[in-house]
Amino acid sequence: MFHKITISKMKKITGSVALILFVSLTVISQNKKLNVEEAVLGRWRQFYPEHLSGVHAYGENDFTHVKDYNEVILMNNSGKDVKVLIDLKQINEVLKSEGLNELKYFPYWNYKWIDTKQLAFNSDGNYYVYNIETNIINLKSIMPNGSEHNSPCVSNEMTAYTIKNNLYFVDSKGKEVAVTEDENPEIVNGNSYTHRQEFGIDNGIFWSTKGTYIAFYRKDETMVTDYPLVDITTRIAELKNTKYPMTGEKSEEVTLGIYNLLTGKTVFAKVNDFTSERYLTSITWGPEEKYIYIGVLNRGQDHLKLNKYDAATGKFIKTLFEETNKRYVEPEHQLIFTDGLTDQFIWYSERDGYNHLYLYNTEGKLIKQLTKGNWIVSDFLGFDANLKNFYITSTKESPVENHLYKVNFITGDIKKLTNEKGVHSVVPSNSKQYFFDSYSNQNEPNNNRIIDNKGKVVKDILKAKNPFVDYELGDMKTGTLKAADGKTDLYYRLITPPNFDPSKKYPVVVYVYGGPHAQLVTNSWLGGAGLWIYYMAQEGYIMFTLDNRGSANRGFEFESIIHRQCGQEEMKDQMKGIDFLKSLPYVDTERIGVHGWSYGGFMTTSLMINFPEIFKVGVAGGTVTDWKYYEVMYGERYMDTPDENPEGFEKTSLLDKADKLQGRLMMIHGYQDPVVVPQNSIDFIRSCIKEGTDIDFFLYPESEHNMRGHTRVHLMKKVTRYFDDYLK
């Protein structure tokens, strides 16, 4: 029997079904879960918060940004998009007409403005200067095959680069000129890997201000022992030696060449300080090209001399000042010369315990300390037009935040310009009257806005939506605990599973790094955590991280506590974190695991060995197992040499403690790792065999120190499965 249904009744039924369907879909969508691929690759892809890309200062007060990877947009200081200055199609038409490779997308990460008409960018290793008014490429430096470390000079429209171990440049007529012609491959010129990129060094080629000279590192490695890495991708595995000076062993000898483009001659800076195994850092050209400045650091890294040299002859002029410290001195910045400050420069130093700015003249007289306090200067952003104020970002507000400040050059008075909590990344306009401020905190994924030099918000441009609104990530909270010294605050992050039930007991994974120059817990989006950590919480683990003493952004005493005893104070602090976890009724204290990479791998293994009753499962990647196997620059800064510190090396070595390992430990290493060489893990395995201790091991045959892309997906699946098998 059929029933007659009226239109009005049909509408009611349809509406009810639609409502039920909507509610059902809402419930489903809010219960989405990450998979490992999304957790590893999605952080920088689909889950990266909305943002303006490629923001740069333009003109006096304006900015540009890159839209949809193909349009460079002029944005005025009111935060309004004014017009498209150039698009990908226009650039590609010109490149094509010149017989050059077209761009797949505009290189938003490396372009810069020379002036309001000329745009410079790199692509495929080549360097271009493009005039946006004439649509003409004013300069194109097309690099030959095999070139590396390309370094353009706008002042003379030339580009320097290396091929294998020698330095070259292309002159304004396109002719290649050889600066060096060393036939011995163990003598390397212009390489950015000099001193293994310690001391903030990421370049080995230094153009002078007007382009008259090229200064360059010359690294003599003939005395350094070869370390064997093995390439197994060939039919018969091939030896790939790399130069790797280990702590206490013979190190490289570095000099600084100065090539004069007018004469075609090279002189070398006459550095006579310390032994020949010193470090040359903070290479800086004076504004008039007459002098070049070098920070000369002894091999022990506890004595720095800032020296001045004559550029034409390489002659030593004078030592401007010296810095010493019983632990170490760590210069990581060039001198900062600013227009309007005649014969004066700004110098970064930790001499008072925190990274601050000092004003010197070029004769070495300290004029004054510019910033002071129990906080660090993160970045110097420059002066305003009348030299009345300068601008910095710093941790003055909180060690887990970064803010913009205006500092009066005369009085030192300081004013915070960013008032919203979080980590701020700032791009100043050329006039320093306006700032593009991008910030996030634990509750806000990303905010973009324009503020002025009084701290007034001119315009809120973008407020990013939560990219995880449909996902169950678990709850995250941060807080502080007292360090093992009983007085120092340490910051922690705790993430509990979705649908958390405080009456249940959950396994815990401690994610650790613990070493210098790294901070894992911040007041930024996701609390500074990677998505894999949230994935693990989603899978039923409590995830805990503590920044122990030894980690970054807390001042010299906090970070240098590790000196001559890596891992010792750090473990004491981590155990304070364990005490905190034990106090939580929902933590299963019989199921605590630990995971970390590099220094974190060293910490993971150290914790497993020293506290076997606490840590049941560990996964340690790229692990240092004995500091005698680590390289000179980093290893000796924090540990000195094995001869100078035998007790410290013995105490921190893991090789003679394999018998203390009780839980399940998996070590992972890249077979091509030139940073923490594979011998570290392999020798620890040998110790485990000798002691009859069980250990698991996995090798990535083609990987170096870090795994990337789909190899990293494989890695994190393996790490996850190990905890699922033995801890969950």
Contacts of 708 (CB under 8 A, 6+ apart): none
Q: Six-digit token pair at 537? A: 């919480």
Average pLDDT over the chain, rounded to an integer:
94
Look at residue 65 in the predicted model and tell me its pLDDT.
98
Q: How confident is the model at residue 30 (pLDDT cuts 50, 70, 90)?
A: low
Contact 239, 621 (CB under 8 A): no
For the ranges 142-146, 182-186, 384-388, 523-527, which has the lowest average pLDDT?
142-146
Q: How many CB atoms are located within 10 Å of the residue 299 CB?
A: 17
Structural domains of the chain sorted by starting position, each given as residue range(s) with its CATH number in brackets: 51-142 (2.40.10), 145-335 (2.140.10.30), 478-695 (3.40.50.1820)
Taking the C-alpha atoms of residue 603 and residue 620, their distance in angstroms, rounded to an integer, is 8
Taking the C-alpha atoms of residue 617 and residue 722, their distance in angstroms, rounded to an integer, is 8
Look at residue 53 in the predicted model and tell me its pLDDT.
96
Q: Is 398 a catalytic residue?
A: no
For the ranges 3-7, 31-35, 596-600, which has the lowest average pLDDT?
3-7
CA angle 389–394–399, rounded 5-degree value:
155
Q: Six-digit token pair at 503? A: 């009456």
Q: Is the pLDDT of residue 172 over 80?
A: no
Q: Six-digit token pair at 399? A: 């060690």
Tell me the β-bridge partners of 174: none
| HSE value, Cβ hemisphere, 13 Å, CA-based, for 398 | 18
Q: How confident is the model at residue 173 (pLDDT cuts 50, 70, 90)?
A: confident
Look at residue 10 in the predicted model and tell me its pLDDT.
37
Of 598, 681, 687, 703, which residue is the catalytic one? 598
Give me the torsion for CA of 208, 214, 215, 218, rounded to 10°. 170
| HSE value, Cβ hemisphere, 13 Å, CA-based, for 449 | 19
Of 431, 705, 714, 724, which residue is the catalytic one? 705
Percentage helix, strand, coil for the chain under 3-state DSSP, each rounded to 5: 20, 35, 45
Q: Six-digit token pair at 332? A: 């990581």
Q: Six-digit token pair at 435? A: 């700032």
Q: Give the N- to C-terminal CA distance of the chain in Å, as an integer.
A: 57
Q: 700 — phi, psi (to 5°)?
A: -100, 105
Q: Is 653 a catalytic residue?
A: no
Q: How many CB atoms are located within 10 Å of the residue 403 CB?
A: 24
Q: Is the pLDDT of residue 8 over 90?
A: no
- Which H or E element spans position 379? strand 377-383
Look at residue 376 in the predicted model and tell me its pLDDT.
98
Contact 441, 523 (CB under 8 A): yes
Look at residue 175 in the predicted model and tell me its pLDDT.
87
pLDDT tens-digit profile of 311-348?
A: 999 999 999 999 999 999 999 999 999 988 989 999 99
The larger pLDDT score, comparing residue 250 to residue 174, is at: 250
pLDDT tens-digit profile of 228-263?
A: 999 999 999 999 999 999 999 999 999 999 999 999
Contacts of 528 (CB under 8 A, 6+ apart): 493, 519, 520, 521, 522
Q: 689 — phi, psi (to 5°)?
A: -60, -45
pLDDT tens-digit profile of 273-305?
A: 999 999 999 999 999 999 999 999 999 999 999
Q: Is the pLDDT of residue 189 over 50?
A: yes
Q: How confident is the model at residue 27 (pLDDT cuts 50, 70, 90)?
A: very low
Q: Which of 66, 196, 56, 164 is nearest to 114 (CA)?
A: 56
Q: Is the pLDDT of residue 90 over 60?
A: yes
Contacts of 90 (CB under 8 A, 6+ apart): 135
Amino acid, res. 500: F
Q: Which of 330, 302, 301 is nearest to 516 (CA)?
A: 330
Taking the C-alpha atoms of residue 95 and residue 126, their distance in angstroms, rounded to an integer, is 12
Look at residue 198 in the predicted model and tell me its pLDDT.
86
The rounded Cα 614 to chain-centroid distance in angstroms is: 32
pLDDT tens-digit profile of 455-477?
A: 999 999 999 999 999 999 999 99
Look at residue 432 in the predicted model and tell me its pLDDT.
97
Look at residue 260 in the predicted model and tell me its pLDDT.
98
Q: Is the pLDDT of residue 9 over 50?
A: no
pLDDT tens-digit profile of 466-505?
A: 999 999 999 999 999 999 999 999 999 999 999 999 999 9
Contact 207, 264 (CB under 8 A): no
Look at residue 5 in the predicted model and tell me its pLDDT.
35
Taking the C-alpha atoms of residue 64 and residue 72, their distance in angstroms, rounded to an integer, is 6
Q: Is 310 a catalytic residue?
A: no
Q: Is the pLDDT of residue 11 over 60?
A: no
pLDDT tens-digit profile of 540-582?
A: 999 999 999 999 999 999 999 999 999 999 999 999 999 999 9
Of 151, 547, 673, 681, which residue is the catalytic one? 673
Taking the C-alpha atoms of residue 612 and residue 600, their distance in angstroms, rounded to an integer, is 17
Look at residue 43 in the predicted model and tell me its pLDDT.
87
Taking the C-alpha atoms of residue 693 and residue 135, their distance in angstroms, rounded to an integer, is 69
Look at residue 196 in the predicted model and tell me its pLDDT.
83
Q: What is the mean pLDDT of residues 34-53?
A: 95
Proportion of the chain above pLDDT 70, given as a percent: 96
Q: Is the pLDDT of residue 25 over 70?
A: no
Q: Is the pLDDT of residue 18 over 80?
A: no
Proportion of the chain above pLDDT 90, given as a percent: 90
Q: Is the pLDDT of residue 436 over 50?
A: yes
Q: 346 — phi, psi (to 5°)?
A: -105, 140
Contacts of 24 (CB under 8 A, 6+ apart): none
